[in-house]
Amino acid sequence: MNRIDQTFSKLKREGRKGLVGYLTAGDPNLAASERNIRAAIDAGLDVLELGVPFSDPTADGPTIQEAAQRALAAGTTLADVLGMVSRLRRDYADIPIVLFGYANPFYRYGFDRIAEDAARAGADGLLVVDMPFEESEELRAPLVKHGLCFILLVAPTTPPGRAAAILAGAQGFVYYIMVTGVTGARESVVSDLAAQIGALRQVTGLPIAVGFGVSNGAQARDAATTADAVVVGSALVRAAHEGRAGAFVRELRDGLSGRSPAA
């Protein structure tokens, strides 16, 4: 069983909500990035989304765009990211690691090659934010061959019929984008999230993780009320840049557990 499936099964048994955290590999450099990632894992991440830096991250807001630029300026490559996965896997046997990126770097590396090398490094899946579902089979097939999940995104604007088609063969978990637009912290969680999640559960039995906008423990608690997990990206990237990745993950964990951050 894939580590993603194992983790969500464990969360369900324990009656807990999952915390999926995104950090850009190589921001501001490989060594500092790995320290921040380890601090976040040690503080309580359930799933790591490891961002592959790209020069034109069109789905991302300023915080993650700037993180990608810092990583690229430091010379971070996809091979470097895979090396980091290997090092993390040696010390963290159970945490799922999902490579989060854009199609171009994976295409240039080679879809068959990235599937094989990512699996060998210890990754558990890929999430390719700008790859249309209709064009994904060329990457999906080698991922499945090597036991990796192809994580799919669904948005509020996705019609129910299309959502059903997209998720018919989905694996791991569903990343539900709570709002339209680019990534970035927001003031509050959308008011109709429960209805959105309820509709999505009509077309998939996979765990649902919600993201795009969660920026503190209270919002994490609210977002997880009807979802199985929350995804935190921009706010965690900002916290890591300020040297407080671990502290921020603990705040999020407290929120998900219904505890006061000061407790």
252 in a structural domain = yes
92 in a structural domain = yes
> For position 137, which CATH number holds?
3.20.20.70
| Chain segment 153-192, per-residue pLDDT in tens | 999 888 889 999 999 989 999 999 986 544 444 444 555 8
Interval 200-208 mean pLDDT:
95
140 in a structural domain = yes
| Chain segment 207-233, per-residue pLDDT in tens | 999 998 899 999 999 989 999 999 999
129 in a structural domain = yes
Q: What's the number of domains the chain is made of?
A: 1
Long-range contacts of 191-195 (CB under 8 A, 24+ apart): 193/222, 193/223, 193/225, 193/226, 193/227, 194/225, 194/226
Structure tokens at 149: 């999940």
Phi-psi region of 49 (alpha: psi -120 to 50; beta: other; left: phi over 0): beta
Global confidence as pTM: 0.93
Catalytic positions? 49, 60
In this predicted structure, what is the pLDDT of residue 212?
86
In this predicted structure, what is the pLDDT of residue 185?
44
Domain limits for position 211 = 3-257
263 in a structural domain = no
215 in a structural domain = yes
Q: Which residue has the higher pLDDT, 115 or 193?
A: 115
